[in-house]
Structure 1
Amino acid sequence: MRLVEDELRIPNERLALGIERTRVGRIRDLLYTDNNLHTRRVCHRAGKNAPPGARQIPQTFGVASPLVPSPPVRILFIVNSVASSVTARRRVVIHKALSTDHDVTLAETSRRGHATRLAQSAARESYDLVVVLGGDGTLNEAANGLAGTDTALATLPGGSTNVFARILGLPDDSVDAVTVLLEALDAGNINRIGLGAVEGRYFLFHCGVGFDAAVVEQVERRGPWKRWAGHPLFMYAAIDTWIRRVDRTNPPLRLIDANGQERTRGYFSIIMNANPYTFLGNRAFELVPELTLQDPLAAVTLEELNLRTLGPVAAAALAHRPMEGRKNLDIATGVRSLVIESDPPSPYQVDGDHLGASKRLRFTWTPDHLSLLMPLR
């Protein structure tokens, strides 16, 4: 009977090739709970002259079509089992799909920062790919473990918002998304992307300083609600923070450019490595539409924090209208280095994870610093 990581902790036991085993359990009872789900198979399609041994799409999908198996790669599959939309069934279905053609090791995170350690171990042991099923925070941890290495990263949506997966254009459903990723893997669609960093912590899509970080802090204080409340919890936290926790009389942030010159002052800054900033339901919140994962950072700062400023900016972002020239909004693009000073210290968050408060934050951008498996466009 096959073992995968699940409910039982086994201390001091190690997976092959140096990856620590955190949990193991038997999965026979789960594997066939839904035969329709478990017949999902993914491979690159071929023509009539498929090579010997090519698999067929299961009849569940209708007419069988010939497939070409992709060359097997070594995959570490990291799962955050407490992420908002991760279930045991989804984990098993995805693990089975990945394992059809590839050598897969499964590891579950058990604490904050664990995904970084697991990803670092995978890179040291020359794994080809790390696939993360979890939220943006778990994905960020894995990216920090893989930055500067040759091991590639792939994401599957398992959180409440899944900003980075949606930036890449992946389906919201993780089982559908694994189909897309396996097609990309068959095609070898792995690209190097740039990463932003704040005080040495890399980020994939943004770092927020000020108001949005205060909102994230309030959400994290209500952690048990996040799995069930999702977006309503964020809306409640935003309103509560706006009314009770923000000083709108004196801008605390001071942005200093690479030449040491003050660029602007403000209440709220977003340092972006990718666009959009976030999603509200199915709508992208576009602040710098032209920004790509190969470009240097963009810094977006609200110089006034009131409804007269925030309302028009939010409406334009959701309608995908131009941001340039808007009153009390400063946008800097092509940013490779930046310092934000704050008095008093301002909270900051990285890819949706609150990291505390600071008086001074240094931002940098490093090109071609992470290999990323990207969907075929």
Structure 2
Amino acid sequence: MRALLVVNPKATTTSARGRDLLVRALRSEADLTVEYTSRRGHAIEFARRALTERYDVVVTLGGDGTVNEAVNGLLSEGPGPHVPALAVVPGGSTNVFARALGLPRDWAEGTSVILDALQHKRFRTIGLGTANGRYFTFCAGFGLDAEVVRKVERARLRGRTASPLLYLQSTVAQFFLETDRTDPLITLSRPGEEPDPHLAMVIVQNTAPWTYLGERALHVNREASFDTGLDVLALRALSLPATVRAASRILTGREIPEGPHIATLHDVAEFTLKAAHPLAYQLDGDYLGERDELKFTAVRDALRVVC
């Protein structure tokens, strides 16, 4: 078996010693090549090469951003039996995708699970989502959610460490000081349905949970699954009372009911979000810029994963 290990050396929870142990362990099971990322988009290039050179499996050691890039490299020619399987060793600060697959949060325990799965050829085929053609594994955001991600990324560039406190501080500052909350700008359109206008922010899920706050899973659409289409939650207003109610339900694990200020959709095959002017968007926790239109598509049975 030929395997490519893609390592993000800046991954939050790993060390050089840990990476060496992982390499030795994987080499006991596979003909292993190791590559280290040094810039954004690097993992896409490595995974695309693994696809071209017919590797059997690509293993990532990093966070959700590294996983997202590897997925987009692997699927650069679309899904199919020729695509190498993906194995994920958690090495980031949150590791939503790995944990959603049921893998341990600790990278050493995750490595043990991956090695056992490779030995016993244990794979699972999952669905993914796309936004304007780019794949995402667990979530996307348009509006406030993505603006918070952007703010966190800028803080990390200044030397801050990713933590629940940083996300909380960034959310409060973004909501009160920077986001335009006066005029809902987004319209959601689906084939055969009336458009739903005047949305203030939109969260899209490909699986549950939406994310984690430390050990706590945060749920927005509990029924979201790798085995169904996409789920959507949209806030119609970013007023303080409506936003606090939604946030408190998320933080306390309560269901978010559809109502005058909230719209939800489950198992959607495709839809389009269009904004009155460009808004921030994020995929799998990475800020990717601003767009005034995003087309979302659910891709069933898109990728084999080792778990």
TM-score range, shorter chain: over 0.9
Does the Cα contact within 8 Å between 1:160 and 1:227 map onto a contact in 2? no
Contact 2:184–2:200, Cα closer than 8 Å, also in 1:
yes
In structure 1, distance between residues paired with 2:162 and 2:270: 37
Name stretches of at least 5 consecutive residues in structure 2 with no aligned partner: none
Conservation of the 8 A alpha-carbon contact between 1:78 and 1:108? yes
Mapping for residues 365-376 of structure 1, pairs under 5 Å: 365-374=298-307
Q: Work out the CA distance in 2 between the residues paired with 1:179 and 1:254.
A: 46
Query: Structure 2: how far apart are the matches of 1:260 and 1:129?
Result: 41
- Supply the distance in 1 between the matched residues of 2:149 and 2:71 (Cα, whole angstroms): 20
Answer yes or no: is 1:88 the counterpart of 2:16: yes
Q: Is residue 2:106 matched to residue 1:173?
A: yes
Inter-partner Cα distance in structure 1 for 2:155 and 2:291:
22
**Could you tell me whether the CA contact under 8 Å between 2:186 and 2:273 is conserved in 1?**
yes
Does 2:55 match 1:127? yes
Q: 1:322 aligns to what? A: 255
Partner secondary structure for residue 51 of structure 2: helix
Q: Which amino acid aligns with 2:264?
A: I
Q: Give the superposition deviation at 1:228.
A: 2.8
CA distance in 1 between counterparts of 2:205 and 2:11 reads: 24
Cα separation, partners in 2 of 1:200 and 1:290, compared to 1, 3 Å: same
Which of 193, 203, 206 is matched with 2:126 structurally? 193
Alignment-mate amino acid for residue 103 of structure 1: D
Q: Is the Cα contact below 8 Å between 1:248 and 1:267 reproduced in 2?
A: yes
Match of 2:264 among 316, 331, 339: 331
1:58-207 matches, cutoff 5 A: 73-147=1-75, 148-149=79-80, 150-207=83-140
Q: Residue 343 of structure 1 aligns to which amino acid in structure 2?
A: A
Q: Give, in angstroms, the shift of residue 227 of structure 1.
A: 6.5
Contact 2:29 2:119 in 1 (8 A): no
Kept after mapping to 2: 8 A contact 1:133/1:158:
yes
Give the Å deviation of 1:230: 2.6
Secondary structure at the aligned position of 2:148 is classed as: helix
- Distance in 2, matches of 1:132 and 1:226, equals 24
Q: TM-score, normalised by structure 1?
A: 0.76
Distance 1:363 1:303 in 2: 19
1:314 is displaced (CA, Å) by 2.7
Distance 2:99 2:240 in 1: 28
- Alpha-carbon distance in structure 1 between the residues aligned to 2:196 and 2:103: 36
1:209-248 pair list within 5 angstroms: 209-224=142-157, 228-248=161-181
Deviations 1:179-211 (A, max 9, x none): 011122223221221111011110000110000
Equivalent in 238, 261, 267 of residue 200 of structure 2 = 267
Q: 2:235 aligns with which of 302, 310, 328?
A: 302
Q: Residue type of the partner of 2:292?
A: K
2:184 aligned partner: 251
Q: Identity of aligned pairs, percent?
A: 38
CA deviation after TM superposition for structure 1 residue 157, in Å: 1.3
Q: Distance in 2 between matches of 1:107 and 1:338?
A: 37
Native 8 Å contact 1:274 1:291 kept in 2 = yes
Size of the alignment, in residue pairs?
A: 302
Give the residue type in structure 2 aligned to 1:308.
Answer: P
- For the residues of structure 1 that align with 2:70 and 2:235, how far apart are their CA atoms? 31
Task: Call closer, same or farther: CA 1:227–1:121 in 2, change over 3 Å.
Answer: farther
- The structural deviation recorded for 1:234 is 1.7
Offset of 1:329 from its aligned partner?
A: 1.3
The residue type paired with residue 56 of structure 2 is D
Taking only aligned residues, the RMSD between alpha carbons, in angstroms, comes to 1.6
Q: 1:225 to 1:373 in 2, by over 3 A?
A: farther
* 1:154-189 C-alpha deviation (Å, 9 max, x unpaired): 111111111111212222211111001112222322
Instruction: Find the aligned partners of 1:372 and 1:143 in 2 and give their Cα distance.
Output: 10
Q: Could you tell which deviates more after superposition, 255-264 or 80-89?
A: 255-264
> Distance between the aligned counterparts of 2:236 and 2:205, measured in 1?
17
1:208-238: CA deviation from partner (whole Å, max 9, x where unpaired): 0000100111112123356634322222211
CA distance in 2, matches of 1:370, 1:322: 30
Kept after mapping to 2: 8 A contact 1:303/1:329: yes
Provide closer, same or farther for how the CA distance between residues 75 and 334 of structure 1 changes in structure 2, counting only shifts above 3 A.
same
Partner SS, residue 305 of structure 1: coil
Q: Aligned letter for 1:89?
A: R
- State yes or no: 1:313 paired with 2:246: yes
